[in-house]
Structures are given as C-alpha cells and as structure tokens.
Amino acid sequence: MEEKINISQLDFAKGNGLIPVVVQDAVSKEVLMLAYTNIEALKKTLETGYAHYWSRSRQKLWMKGETSGNVQKIRDILVDCDYDTVLFLVEQKGNACHTGKRTCFHNKLLYK
C-alpha cells in the first residue's frame, strides 16, 4: 500500500542537510543520474515541476538543464523506507550526463 509522505518527514539530518536523489526515466526506467537535494532545492522542485538540486562542489542550488537545456520534468517523486533518499521519475530532455551521454552510469567497474 502506497504511503503519502510529507516533506517535513524526510530525514535531511542524517546527511547533514542533504539527501541523495536517484533520477530515473519515467518511461524506460533507465537510471540517469544521482544527485543531492536539500530542503530548498526540493521545495523548488515541487513548486516548478522541474528537477532542482544542491551542488556540493559549488555550494549552491541549481536547476538541471539551466545552461544546457537538458531539463528534467518531474513525473513522480518516491521516498525510500527510511525517508532519507528520494527517487525522481522524470521526462528527460536531451542527455542527463554533463559528458554528453544519455546517462551518468555509462562506465563499467572491472571486477574480474
């Protein structure tokens, strides 16, 4: 049974004010990227319907695609069982990865 979660229930404290965001294509279910959000970025995402994140390197809020045009329209947001990670199901315009690839997960780790 699906449970409705309020933004105030999310555990931002565990990650020092940040929670990870797994981003997945809403139709193909392909994992596109991993990013981080804080309360401000998540509120902006909910207000606009477009994915906003917190840049750990630049220490600022950013909208995905603000310079490239490769925006992510939010189709749904799911919360994990611990309330400390979210999943954005998006309609991706263009590529998700800043390298020009469709997904950020295009490298294989050698394990044999």
How far from 15 is each of 18, 72, 84, 98, 100, CA to CA, in Å?
5, 24, 8, 24, 29
- Specify if 63 maps to a domain: yes
pTM given for the model: 0.94
pLDDT computed for residue 3 by the predictor: 87
- Specify if 98 maps to a domain: no
Computed over every residue of the chain, the mean pLDDT equals 96
- Specify if 102 maps to a domain: no
Q: What range defines the domain where residue 45 resides?
A: 7-92
> Per the structure, how many domains does the chain have?
1
- Specify if 70 maps to a domain: yes
- Find, among 37, 48, 103, 94, the residue nearest to 71 by Cα: 94
- Specify if 100 maps to a domain: no
Q: Which two tokens stand for residue 2?
A: 């699906």
- Specify if 57 maps to a domain: yes
Q: What is the pLDDT of residues 11-27, one digit of tens each?
A: 999 999 999 999 999 99
Rg (CA), the chain: 14
The CATH number assigned to the domain holding 27 equals 3.10.20.810
